[in-house]
Amino acid sequence: PVLFRDDEDTFKILIATDVHLGYLEKDPVRGNDTFVTFNEILEHAQKNEVDFVLLGGDLFHENKPSRKTVHSCLESLRKYCMGDRPIHFEILSDQAVNFQYSKFPWVNYQDGNLNISIPVFSIHGNHDDPTGADALCALDILSCAGLLNHFGRSTSVEKIDISPILLRKGRTKIALYGLGAIPDERLYRMFVNKQVTMLRPKEDEDSWFNLFVIHQNRSKHGATNYIPEQFLDDFINLVVWGHEHECKIAPAQNEQQHFYVSQPGSSVVTSLSPGEAVKKHVGLLHVKGKKMKMQKIALETVRTFHMEDIVLADHPDLFNPDNPKVTQAIQAFCMEKVEMMLDNAERERLGNPRQPDKPLIRLRVDYTGGFEPFSIHRFSQKYMDKVANPKDIIHFFRHREQKEKNDSNINFGELVSRPASEGMTLRVEDLVKQYFQTAEKKVQLSLLTERGMGEAVQEFVDKEEKDAIEELVKFQLEKTQRFLKERRIDAEEEKIDEEVRKFRESRRKNTEEEDEEVREAMTRARAHRSEDAVLVSASSDEELMDTGMKASGDSDDDLPTTLSRGRGRGRGRARGARGQNSTARGSSRRGRGSTSQESATSSRTYKSVPAKNMSVMD
């Protein structure tokens, strides 16, 4: 980073990431924190007269943000980013390529119908990534409204070509590369297989300042569950790394690749872990020619977070586990600590009137050594009016004795030593994999694969894709049946079992084919959901119009007993309401592993299931 004066050749870019709009929006104390801080970020952009704002993913906390969250976001963008201030940079690249997934494939400030004063460029994160039959994400709504430019999206699992947005201001040229969040293992494998290419401008490729925005694990969460910095090309000048919440915004040089990495961190505390306790900042990046300067801007509206650890075994003079009154002594000690943290928070707040009143407080108590935890609920009552998170001020944990195990087994001790709430995230597919690795032989999968099942369960949990598991089961079952028919296996159970086992092993080894399988099954699930939605609305309309008639294929037995008594108008209304709800009920049953009979009954009103589509149980 070099000091220089701003002029007509200098880009000024406000950099932020992981805003998580809508996090805890229903919390009476913390509900508006994300919206207030987002306004502050855009206020800094306006005050500093930046050329554009660059966001590194996870603008929204939920994949399907609430109406309130979307409304608040639109309000902020319209308030701060629209106006008459002229834009001083131009785009040289082919925008039809840069914004190919947009219905309006050009940058918003060049749209004649819009008056943009501060363009916002953003990639998507893992919280707000594209899902559903049309593969849309919340950013696409903002993009369609002309308030944000969504870039860096890639749909292929075979090859990723990252084409930069080429920007020029005076004599300074920036090549802006972006890559929205992709599952870490998949991206890791694609980097290893040389399937990720960063395209460079043909003319004067060394005269460009290369800026890359990425949203992946930077710290190692597993063998391939992160992206090592050395995977990235060495011609990059600066990497803006989203997803990691700890603020390390000052650019740090990678000694191997020689580029700089800036990790802005989140602008809201979403987990009570040490990384989140670091003061939150956004960055004002100045770029002139090939030189850069990152100016840190402390965020004033972020709720303060204070954290301390206590190890009871380290205080033998104060706490003796054999003393009957030791629990009261521990509680009094913890109260003293919390009061000290509250005093520190109050002192810090005095110099900053914009900071929220109630701080976040976390006291982690290691009670290893024969101690007993006290009632957290009773303890929290004392701080209801003083602390923003009274219910989880205290966190008790204990280091378990680690038993020696074979290397092949999972070391669960390692997993428990750091509690999940303290920043270690166990993903759904990891839990599925662990379950089957440690399960008894009689409950091991013999036809489905752990990887496919893990992906399907994750889609079901994270993206609310109700048919994901059922469609994966159907897809893998059909594929195995086709294989057995082609091999013309004798109808002997042992031979069939052996062939199925071999077929499953071959698919497990071919990870690309398995990825393709999962993707195909998820596409089917999304298409299935779209069909269901159409059928449900059609059916509900019919039932509401014709209140006296019953839908074909339905009988009195299908109606709840409370509804079957009445006739005429009352009965008709109940039938209409039932028509609207039964698919939701049916789909949630399917997700929980319902019997084929239940599924068939719950969806019978709307569609006939062909006999050839075998049910999950079959």
Q: What is the pLDDT of residues 500-537, one digit of tens each?
A: 777 777 777 777 777 777 777 777 777 776 666 555 55
The pairs formed by 224-227 with CB atoms below 8 angstroms and a separation of 24 or more are 224/184, 224/185, 224/188, 224/189, 225/184, 225/185, 225/188, 226/184, 226/188, 227/184, 227/187, 227/188, 227/191
Strands (DSSP E) along 260-331, which ranges? 260-263, 281-288, 291-298, 305-311
- The domain made up of 10-298 has a fold known as Purple Acid Phosphatase; chain A, domain 2 (3.60.21)
Report which of residues 201 and 510 the model is more confident about: 201
**pLDDT exceeds 90 at position 362:** yes
CA 56 – CA 196 distance, rounded (Å):
19
Cβ contacts of 164 within 8 Å, gap of 6 or more: 93, 98, 175, 176, 177, 198, 199, 200, 201, 210
**pLDDT exceeds 60 at position 343:** yes
> No. of H helices and E strands in the chain?
16, 18
Supply the angle between the helices 468-487 and 568-591 in degrees, to the nearest 10: 60
Among 79-83, 268-272, 466-470, which stretch is predicted with the lowest mean pLDDT? 466-470
Place of tokens 């009988």: 555
CA 285 – CA 283 distance, rounded (Å):
6
Which residues sit opposite 393 in a β-bridge?
A: none
- The domain made up of 305-400 has a fold known as Translation Initiation Factor IF3 (3.30.110)
User: How many Cβ atoms sit within 10 Å of the Cβ of residue 502?
Assistant: 12
Burial of 262 (0-12, 13-18, 19+ CB in 10 A): buried
Report which of residues 586 and 283 the model is more confident about: 283
CA distances from 526 to 42, 375, 437, 533 (A): 36, 46, 30, 11
Supply the angle between the helices 67-81 and 33-47 in degrees, to the nearest 10: 10
**pLDDT exceeds 70 at position 406:** no
Strands (DSSP E) along 439-548, which ranges? none
Over residues 240-289, the pLDDT tens digits come to 999 999 999 999 999 999 999 999 999 999 999 999 999 999 999 999 99
Catalytic residue among 44, 127, 243, 245: 127
- Bridge pairing between strands 90-91 and 165-169: antiparallel
pLDDT value of position 360: 97
User: How many Cβ atoms sit within 10 Å of the Cβ of residue 246?
Assistant: 18
Active site residue 215: no
Report which of residues 10 and 465 the model is more confident about: 10
Report which of residues 41 and 449 the model is more confident about: 41
> Which residue spans of the chain are classified as CATH 3.60.21.10?
10-298
CA distances from 400 to 252, 406, 430, 506, 596 (A): 37, 18, 21, 39, 43
The SS3 of residue 290 is: coil
DSSP state of 1: -
- Bridge pairing between strands 291-298 and 260-263: unpaired
In the numeric block, which tokens belong to residue 245? 């919440």
Largest Cα–Cα distance in the chain?
82
pLDDT value of position 531: 65
Q: What share of the chain is helix, strand, coil (3-state, %, to 5)?
A: 40, 15, 45
In the numeric block, which tokens belong to residue 333? 């000690």
The SS3 of residue 92 is: coil
CA 235 – CA 200 distance, rounded (Å):
10
Which residues sit opposite 240 in a β-bridge?
A: 213, 262
pLDDT value of position 546: 47
The enclosing H or E element of 118 equals none
Buried b (16+ CB within 10 A) or exposed e, 143-169: beebbbbbbbbbeebeebebbbbbbeb
CA 463 – CA 466 distance, rounded (Å):
9
In percent, the amount of the chain with pLDDT more than 90 equals 59
Place of tokens 């919340």: 138
CA 187 – CA 388 distance, rounded (Å):
38
pLDDT value of position 385: 95
In the numeric block, which tokens belong to residue 166? 């080429």
**pLDDT exceeds 90 at position 176:** yes
Burial of 248 (0-12, 13-18, 19+ CB in 10 A): middle
In the numeric block, which tokens belong to residue 598? 């239940």
Average pLDDT over residues 64-74: 97
Cα angle 72, 77, 80 (rounded to 5 degrees) comes to 120
DSSP state of 85: P
CA 452 – CA 225 distance, rounded (Å):
17
Supply the angle between the helices 468-487 and 511-545 in degrees, to the nearest 10: 120
CA dihedral 245, 152, 113, 83 (to 10 degrees): 30
The SS3 of residue 95 is: helix
pLDDT value of position 554: 44
pLDDT value of position 515: 74
> Which residue spans of the chain are classified as CATH 3.30.110.110?
305-400
Which residues sit opposite 223 in a β-bridge?
A: none
